[in-house]
């Protein structure tokens, strides 16, 4: 088994550290989530960074939200990711050996969207209008990452807890640019590495 992705040892170590932190964080946020009474669109949008004087999300009284998709530029993404990570506990010890039982890692080709609302609708607003996963699931950015045979300029890695996988998959299935990839399918070497070494 090998990888064409060229992960450096530093990237792998950071990826694992941030994956553990985001698993811990999303467990806390979703601990009492009830999909019959609460919005899939809000459970992992509790971190709401301010960029350029305005918040990323605007929340509505009916439980919905609006997202400022103009903020999804490479420099802004990196800044927003750092702000999101700053809100999380700095250390977590989640066991990664049986990762699939807990959830899956999703990579998203950032800034590649139709803004047609299809993934947003089918995922019950888990994805936003710009097809982007909610910020509290983000944990790593990688430049020049292969999605199958297509090179992404910037891939945003997100943690999807097991209970949310079905709504996420529903959104993936209708997204026309094929901007999403599951790590265990797209990069099995990296997936194997983070389970076996860490």
| Residue spans per domain, the chain | 9-196
- Residue 69: is its pLDDT beyond 70? no
DSSP string, 26-38: HHHHTTT--TTTS
pLDDT of residue 28: 96
The answer to whether 102 and 127 are in contact (CB under 8 A) is no
Burial 46-77 (b: 16+ CB within 10 A, else e): ebbbebeeeebbeeeeeeebebbbebbeeebb
Residues 6 or more apart whose CB falls under 8 angstroms from that of 62 comprise none
Res. 109 pLDDT band, cuts 50 70 90: very high
Sign of the Cα torsion 150, 154, 159, 160 reads negative
Token pair recorded at residue 74: 């490479």
pTM reported for the whole predicted model? 0.93
CA separation for the pair 79, 84 (Å, rounded): 9
Beta bridge partner(s), residue 104: 160
Is the pLDDT reported for residue 164 higher than 70? yes
The percentage of residues in the chain with a pLDDT greater than 70, rounded to a whole number, is 94
């Amino acid at each position: 088994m090998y990888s064409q992705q060229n992960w450096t040892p530093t990237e792998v170590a950071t990826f694992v550290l941030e994956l553990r932190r985001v698993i811990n964080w999303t467990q806390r946020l979703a601990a009492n989530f009830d999909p019959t009474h609460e919005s899939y669109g809000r459970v992992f949008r509790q971190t709401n960074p301010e960029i350029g004087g305005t918040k990323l999300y605007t929340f509505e009284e009916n439980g919905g939200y609006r997202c400022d998709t103009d903020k999804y530029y490479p420099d802004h993404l990196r800044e927003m990711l750092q702000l999101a990570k700053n809100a999380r506990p700095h250390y977590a010890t989640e066991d990664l050996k049986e990762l699939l039982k807990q959830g899956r890692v999703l990579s998203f080709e950032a800034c590649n969207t139709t803004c047609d609302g299809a993934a947003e609708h089918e995922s019950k607003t888990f994805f936003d209008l710009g097809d982007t996963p909610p910020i509290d699931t983000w944990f790593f950015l990688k430049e020049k990452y292969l999605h199958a045979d297509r090179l992404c300029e910037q891939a945003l890695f997100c943690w999807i807890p097991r209970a949310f996988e079905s709504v996420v998959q529903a959104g993936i299935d209708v997204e026309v640019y094929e901007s999403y990839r599951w790590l265990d399918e797209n990069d099995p070497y990296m997936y194997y590495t983070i389970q076996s070494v860490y």
